[in-house]
A and B are shown apart, each in its own frame.
Chain A
Amino acid sequence: MENEILLLKGNEAIAHAAIRCGCDGYFGYPITPQSEVLETLSVLKPWETTGMVVLQAESEVASINMLYGGGGSGKRVMTSSSSVGIALMQEGISYMAGAEVPGLIVNVQRGGPGLGTIQPSQSDYNQATRGGGNGDYNVIVLAPNSVQEMADFVDLAFELSFKYRNPAMILSDGVIGQMMEKVVLPPFKPRRTEEEIARECPWAANGHGLKGRRPNIITSLEMDPVEMEKKNLHLQAKYKEIREKEVRYETTSCDDADILIVAFGSASRISLKAMETARKQGLKVGLFRPITLWPFPEREIREMARHLKGILTVEINAGQMVFDVRAAVDGSVPVRHFGRLGGIVPDPDEIVQELYKL
């Protein structure tokens, strides 16, 4: 049964991957366009096979705090939601970052603001990459652009999250969540035993059942400002290490390019088509796809910019990542933004038109 190949929606792939990568618990609240995650888990009944807990919580506020408790006890726990629900989770994500609790949050974005629309969007880029809640912190953000990556990034996100004791997010969108593609499911990985958790997470507060350690305390609170500054500096040092070691991106036809499209998630799929069309018309266009949105591949984009005439960011929002690209190139080349809003997905031809404006 290793490497099973299925035709799945992105949301379903998340559920399958969770069960296969040793996830201990899922806690979530229904919202379009991602309800298939909890629905698929409910059909697959992993509590009867791997022992994974699946719970429909009373709200996203509860879901994220279940994640905080479960992650704080050293378990691999996850939740999924869409934009409006992720907004509700920000308090809990901030606590997790402060208390250095791992956990996976999947955001299958829809358009906003407010209740907005159930159609796809990438307008939570700022919320995801700037921390999103109160305090100076960052969440590791992975942006899949295929159903395959929806499946693959679940384990990757857990690995990064536990390696750095930091919450991680898969920032997807309604296109990737809802579309169906062939997916090679990841190989099966058993849930960790209590001994393995004790070894991997000696900090976890889970009742120190395995003797020989002092009680553990999970908290984000520190009343002494001197200590609190130290705690913050520790977090900042960790974020610096993540920025140095964990940047991920993909380039297509960049070697001879003098125009670069920078796009992530579903916008990168559409941009690929636009790039191919533009190349047929004689434009030397390349595509740069950030896979980690935080840490952002700024050094790589800066390097590339030296050989460019201009950059176009394509996002399904009003222009959010464009500021990170501008900061990266620091005025060395012009950077334009193109995006559609309100649940409208850009058309490849519109993108080609924009390329001519550079």
Chain B
Amino acid sequence: MSDKNHPEKQASGLTRADIIRPENLVYQKPELMNDVNMHYCPGCSHGVVHKLIAEVIEEMGMADKTIGISPVGCAVFAYRYLDIDWQEAAHGRAPALATACKRLWPDRLVFTYQGDGDLACIGTAETLHALNRGENITIIFINNAIYGMTGGQMAPTTLLGMKTSTCPYGRDPKLHGFPLKITELAAQLEGTAYVTRQSVHNVAAIRKAKKAIRHAFENSMQGKGSNLVEIVSTCSSGWKMSPIKANQWMEEHMLEFYHLGDLKDKD
């Protein structure tokens, strides 16, 4: 590749291939991530979690045996970003689609990817019943305490006092009820094998989150029951904060209420 006319030829005379030699490579984009622009806002957690899922599927060698179910929410277009088979569910119904896919194709890796409005509000019934039946699936749950896609309305997970466009004076339990810790609920269910709460706001957290996703996916393939991986996330746009501020706010407020760590691991 040292052709002088090569379009990628750098000023140094080296091409990209010269520079990026396999032995020098410390990090690369997972092959399962498509080369397209993501629609996520800067500072949004969705993109990071997508990458972790792509890495885990790749490392498990399951690219040709995975069915992803995308939600209605900001991740509705998840199917554009990961190069696997996808079905795009109705709002909240992803666990029902996943139930059917896994039962009809038991050797496939089946997961849903859902926001807090999708999973903990309109889809509460589908979520808890799929988990309680012990479907051999994984539910990836992006909890950003807000409805990102529709422009920042209150979610079931919105913290007390937190301002959103439908609780502009702050969430008031007398008016709006209390934030729902659905992951704690899920941990009570006999059907769940692994229930954990993670985050992706720094490198250490990202590593842990990836391990959790891998454990959940492996459980589902070993027929151990259902798995719920909550990722406490940022929504910089919905929260009306810069990406850095959103990360700080998440650490200070979200993690105070939504404690990180495994809630249940049958292993």
- CB pair A66–B99 under 8 Å, yes or no, is yes
Contact, CB under 8 Å: A61 / B126: yes
**Min C-beta distance of A75 to chain B, whole Å:** 5
Chain B hits for A215, CB < 8 A: 83-86
Q: In the complex, identify which listed stretch (B42-50, B64-72, B205-213, B231-239) lies at the interface while the others stay far away.
A: B64-72
| Residue B90 interfacial (CB < 8 Å) | yes
Given known contacts A69-B87, A92-B90, A207-B84, A61 and B125 CB-to-CB distance under 8 angstroms: yes
Residues of B within 8 Å of A221, CB to CB, are 76, 88
Known: A53-B103, A219-B88. A209 touches B125 (CB 8 A): no
Interchain CB contact under 8 A, A207 and B90: no
The minimal Cβ–Cβ distance linking A102 to chain B, given in whole angstroms, is: 13
Of all chain A residues, the one with the shortest Cβ separation from B105 is: A206
B249 contacts chain A at the CB level, 8 A cutoff: no
Q: Which residue of chain B has its CB nearest to the CB of A69?
A: B97
Asked if B65 contacts A207 (CB within 8 A), the reply is yes
In the bound assembly, the distance between CA atoms of A73 and B87 in angstroms comes to 9
Q: Flag whether B101 is at the interface (Cβ < 8 A).
A: yes
Cβ proximity bits A205-216 to B, threshold 8 Å, 1 near / 0 not: 111110100011
- Residues of A near B97 (CB, < 8 A) are 65-66, 68-69, 72
A99 pairs with B104, CB closer than 8 A: no
Judge whether A95 and B90 touch: CB under 8 Å. Answer: yes
Complex contact B101–A70 (CB within 8 A): yes
> Which A residues lie within 8 Å of B126 (CB)?
58, 61-62, 65
CB pair A217–B129 under 8 Å, yes or no, is: no
**Structural contact, B87 and A211, CB atoms closer than 8 A:** no
Complex Cα–Cα for A61 and B127 (A): 12
The answer for the CA separation of A59 and B127 in the assembled complex, in Å, is: 12
Indicate if the CB atoms of B99 and A211 lie closer than 8 Å.
no
The answer to whether A209 touches B65, judged by C-beta atoms less than 8 angstroms apart, is yes
**With a CB–CB cut-off of 8 A, which chain B residues contact A162?**
none
Q: How far is the CA of A75 from the CA of B106 in the complex (A)?
A: 13
Contacts of B96 in A (CB 8 A): 57, 61-63, 65-66, 68-69
CB-contact partner of B101 in A99, A206, A220, under 8 A: A206
Instruction: Decide: A206 near B108, CB < 8 A? Known: A65-B93, A70-B101.
Output: yes
Contact of B125 among A62, A208, A216, A218 (CB under 8 A): A62
Cα–Cα distance between A59 and B128 once the two chains are bound (Å): 12
Q: Chain B's nearest CB lies how many Å from the CB of A185?
A: 24
A72 and B93 alpha carbons, distance in the complex (Å)? 14
A201-255 at interface with B (beta carbon < 8 Å): 205-209, 211, 215-221
Interchain nearest-CB distance for A222 vs B (Å): 11
- Contact in complex: B64, A207 (CB < 8 Å): yes
B109 adjacent to chain A (CB < 8 Å): yes
Assuming the contacts A92-B93, A205-B67, A221-B76, asked whether A69 and B99 have C-beta atoms less than 8 A apart, the reply is yes
Chain B residue numbers with a CB within 8 Å of A62 are 93, 96, 99, 125-126, 129
In whole angstroms, how far apart are the Cα atoms of A127 and B25 in the complex? Answer: 60
- Contact at B65–A69, with CB atoms within 8 Å? no
In the assembled complex, B162 has its CB within 8 A of some CB on chain A: no
Smallest CB-CB separation from A92: which chain B residue?
B90
Q: Are A58 and B67 in contact (CB under 8 A)?
A: no
Residue in contact with B85 in the complex, picked from A53, A65, A99, A208, CB distance below 8 Å: A208
Contact (A217, B86) CB under 8 Å given A69-B99, A73-B104: yes
Say yes or no for B98: interface residue by CB 8 A criterion. Answer: yes
User: With A and B bound together, what is the CA distance between A58 and B64 in angstroms?
Assistant: 31
A to B CB contacts below 8 Å, 13 in the list: A24-B104, A58-B125, A68-B89, A70-B100, A75-B104, A99-B87, A99-B88, A207-B66, A209-B64, A215-B83, A215-B85, A215-B86, A221-B88
User: 3 closest A-B pairs (Cβ-Cβ)?
Assistant: A69-B97, A65-B96, A219-B88
B interface vs A, CB < 8 Å?
A: 64-67, 69, 76, 79, 83-90, 93, 96-101, 103-105, 107-109, 125-126, 129
